[in-house]
Amino acid sequence: MRRSVFNEDHEAFRQTLREFIEAEVVPHYDQWFMDGQVPRALYKQLADLGLFGIEVPEEYGGAGIDSFKFAAIQTEETMRAGVSFGAAGAHIALGLPYLLDLGTEEQKQRWLPDFVSGDTMYALAMTEPGTGSDLAGMSTTARLSEDGTHYLLNGAKTFITGGVLADRVIVCARTSPPKPDDRRFGITLLAVDTTLPGYSVGRKLDKLGLRTSDTAELAFTDVRVPVGDRLGEEDRGFYYLGKNLPKERLSIAYGAYAQAAAAIRFTKQYVQDRKVFGQPVASFQNTKFELAACQAEVDAAQAVADRALEALDAGELTAAEAASAKLFCTEVAHRVIDRCLQLHGGYGFINEYPIARLYADNRVNRIYGGTSEVMKMIIAKDMGL
């Protein structure tokens, strides 16, 4: 399908990234899959490639390119190869926006150079046991000390992408009780150094999919977080989260579309090579019709994802548009990947084949970043319903 979202610079970046993936990731990926996470050394390689600094201003060691399109290409290329960079996506998509938008000049000078170099990896900790998508219901607290120099952080988080290897985690905590007419008031963002006493990583969660992305439970017991590590104003954290959620949801939409496109690529190759009743599976009319229908759906998802990407770069992506893109692209990916697995027959159920891993990885897209049901609520509200 013809596209206008990427230019020559983007395509040159794509080619460099594709060569890196083929040489440095694909040969080792089966072992990383078995290990349940990528090695920390990969993050340094990605940093050396320039991936972490694309959107970071030049004065802090980055390239200063205000565009999410390079991150979108990274998503497309990893999905195309059937691999993952682990929690590197969370480092960029979930950590960086808060540092850029909320960080003081002192914080940016202190944190961004190590962000770009991969010496400090970031994660975002929102979800808590028992709250799920109800972020306003979080119970983790951060109490300001009497001398005003630090917060005492107590509580727990779960489903934290990159939580095992993270060096600094942006933790959402309640610093004031909610107002009677505003449950969202009272949440503050703290960039917590994971080496502080009282900070602990619990289980590395054994997930159905995304096996190479470390996901953890975190616990905080009287962690003394310096006031200088607070991001933005106190009690306004929910507002900041809401501002950045459209970008997060677009990244999920883009990943889902790219997974669906990769599923077709893997399945096309498989049905051309696999023979049944003496002829290639691709020669049967049902195979052709199934893949043609899948391709039509992916074409539509690509158009939706590209439109949202352009809106994001233009600063015009609304919460409802991001929710619509996430809902549509994740539902398309669910249908397409399921149909592609069916065409693999029994081999589609074996992790040796990329389609099996895609099937497992894809399922969470309709859950994290806000469930499909939450996306429908946002869209319906925008419709005036």
Phi and psi at 189, nearest 5°, equal -100, 125
248 tagged catalytic: yes
- N-to-C CA span, the chain: 35
Strand partners, 192: 169
Give the dihedral of Cα atoms 351, 354, 359, 363; nearest 10 deg.
100
CA distance 300 to 289: 17
Q: Both tokens of residue 185?
A: 């008031």
Out of 77, 248, 290, 297, pick the active-site residue.
Answer: 248
Q: Are 205 and 255 in contact (CB under 8 A)?
A: no
- What whole-number distance in Å separates Cα of residue 314 and Cα of residue 269? 37
Contact partners, residue 292, CB within 8 Å, separation at least 6: none
d(CA 329, CA 228): 40
**Structure tokens of 313?**
């770069």
Q: Is 12 exposed, middle or buried (0-12, 13-18, 19+ CB in 10 A)?
A: exposed
Do strands 122-125 and 168-174 pair parallel, antiparallel, or not at all (unpaired)? parallel
Cα distance between residue 363 and residue 113, in whole Å: 35
DSSP state of 137: G
In the block, tokens 């000049």 appear at 105
Q: How many residues does the chain have?
A: 385
* Catalytic residue annotation: 248
